[in-house]
Amino acid sequence: MDTATFDIAARTCLRFGVGTPGGLSASDEVTAVAGLVGERPSIVLAFSDFAAAPPIGGLDLVRRTGADPIVTWEPWKHLGRDNYDHSAFSMESIIAGAHDDYLYRWADELAAWGQTVYLRFAHEPNGTWYPWSQAGGTSPETYVQAWRHVRDIFAIKNVQNVRWIWAPNVVLDGEQLVDWYPGDDVVDVIGIDGYNWGTSIPGGEWTSPRELFGESFAQLRDFSSGKPILVTEVGSAEQGGSKPEWIVDLVDYLADAAAVSGFVWFDFNKEADWSIDSSPGSAAAMTEALQKALNR
């Protein structure tokens, strides 16, 4: 069995990753990012719903570039263009074993593929926008039980090449992330997602990287100090401040942050223009910041 090109858990220098609209198969999009910033992403993030087959072809493409793939595995059904069936795969139905055949298929096909892949199941449960959140009717206890059930299916199959990422959103309203934590025994890497919305939304304000991630990092280290931390989604809007300065601050902050092994930039023009090249200055800032971080 192959091992990963690099281990996300092993911090030698800050890792740079990217998620793009085309997902694992969009090697041209990843190449374009590399051209913008002068650094080939060593992590590629993508999304699959619970009706999708294991993306073996995309995994092959990512591995051929020398990067590690992260598949964000979302327990809902994609109906097309930001439209989803929220009720197709409840946490309760996962716990009850209603989708075990599907889970076994993923376990079998990923095991047969044989190379290291990172699965990020049911991310951002502490938010308010997914059905696997409390706002969507899922309690932390039910979420944890469902997460562990999915993980147990892979353990039954003795799948050795899948690494598991648990990834909440940054702390909202003084909450405790530990309430959603499935446990050290079933998590390999702790992810965290955070965005600087600036003034792109009503009532929004410019938020520095330290303000955005500081409390979350403190909580994560407190209840799981032995696990590596990867910022699995991050981006900044342009409105409300200087995005180039924010990018430089982000990379400097993460490079100095204990246990943080890297970050994945969300290179989408979606709710806001998170793209690295939303302005010429932001792309140049990422180039400068990455060169500084990689030469430490």
Question: Could you give the percent of the chain with pLDDT greater than 70?
Answer: 96
Among the listed residues 216, 215, 103, the one whose alpha carbon sits nearest the alpha carbon of residue 167: 216
Among the listed residues 216, 215, 248, the one whose alpha carbon sits nearest the alpha carbon of residue 232: 216
Q: What is the predicted pLDDT for the residue at 12?
A: 65
pLDDT over 60 at 153, yes or no: yes
pLDDT over 50 at 226, yes or no: yes
pLDDT over 60 at 253, yes or no: yes
Q: What is the predicted pLDDT for the residue at 80?
A: 81
pLDDT over 80 at 6, yes or no: no
The domains of the chain are located at 15-294
Lowest mean pLDDT among 11-15, 140-144, 162-166: 11-15
C-alpha–C-alpha distance, residues 284 and 244, integer Å: 8
C-beta separation of 247 from 285 below 8 A:
yes
Residues 139-166: what's their mean pLDDT? 98
pTM of the full predicted structure?
Answer: 0.95
**Crossing angle of helices 56-64 and 100-113, rounded to 10°:** 30
Q: What is the predicted pLDDT for the residue at 7?
A: 63
Q: Distances from the Cα of 109 to the Cαs of 8, 56, 161, 276, in angstroms?
A: 22, 8, 11, 34
Regarding beta strands 260-266 and 84-85, do their DSSP bridges make them parallel or antiparallel, or are they unpaired? Answer: unpaired
Q: What is the predicted pLDDT for the residue at 18?
A: 98
C-alpha–C-alpha distance, residues 95 and 274, integer Å: 35
Segment 89-127, tens digit of pLDDT: 999 999 999 999 999 999 999 999 999 999 999 999 999
Q: Where residue 261 falls among pLDDT bands split at 50, 70, 90?
A: very high
pLDDT over 70 at 294, yes or no: yes
Q: Determine the CATH number of domain 15-294.
A: 3.20.20.80
Q: Distances from the Cα of 74 to the Cαs of 61, 136, 162, in angstroms?
A: 21, 14, 16
